[in-house]
Amino acid sequence: MDYKQEPIKGSGGDVTTHDKTKSWFYSDVVKEHFFNPKNFLDRDPEDGEFNALGKVGSPACGDELKVWLFVDEDEKIKKMNWKTFGCGSAIASTSIASVMVTESGGMTLEEARKMKPQDIMARLGGLPSRKFHCSVLCDKALRDAINDYYRRADKFDKIVVEASRIIDPVSKVTDHDIEEAVLEGARTIEEVQKKTKVGVGNPGVLPAVEELIRFYKEKYFG
C-alpha cells in the first residue's frame, strides 16, 4: 500500500503518502469498504463454487486483482468474490462493485458489462483523481470474468474483446498504453512520454497522442 492513516498538519487531508508529500480526502464509504471489505475471498475457491474468473494486473507491478463470479441460468450474478494485492482504493472499489452487481437479486451479465468506473466512483462518494485507475482496474477484472463465463458456456458470440491499436510503431506503444498513463496521472504529452516513450525518435505520431490524451482526460475526468 502507498498510504497510511495520518493527517498532514494543515493539509486538511485524512490520508497521506509515506513521504508526506500528498494528502487526500477519502469518503466514509471508501473507508468502510477498505477497513471492512465485502465479499473478499480469504481462501482458495472450492470446486464448483464459481463459474467465472477474471484477472487483471500483476503482483510484480503492485496491483493484481482476481474476481470470481457465480452466474445462474438466467445469466444473473449471484456471487462475486475477489482478492487483490492493490491499494486501499482498489480494495474499496472492488468491494463496492461486488455489492453493486449482486444486490437486488443480482445484475445480469449485460447490465454488469454496462457498469462504468464512474458508477463505482459515485457509489464510493468519489476517489482522488490519482486513484481513479483503481476503479478502472476493478471494472476491467469484472468484464474479464464476464468474458470467461461466456467462454466456458461456449457462447463465444457474446465475448467482447477489448482491442488496442499501435500508435507508435517504433516504440510499440498502443492507445491502451496511453490510456493507462492518463489514468495513472499523466496529463501532458511530456508526462505521457516519460511513462511510455511514445514519439521518442518518431515525433510524427505526437499529434495523434495529444488527441488521445484529450480524449481520455475528457472520458475519465470531464
Give the residue numbers annotated as catalytic, written as ranges: 61, 134
Cβ–Cβ < 8 Å for 35, 124: no
CA 156, CA 173: separation in Å to the nearest integer? 29
Cβ–Cβ < 8 Å for 35, 92: no
Q: How far apart are the first and last CA of the chain?
A: 28
Secondary structure of 56-74 in HEC code, one letter for each residue:
EEEHHHCEEEEEEEEECCC
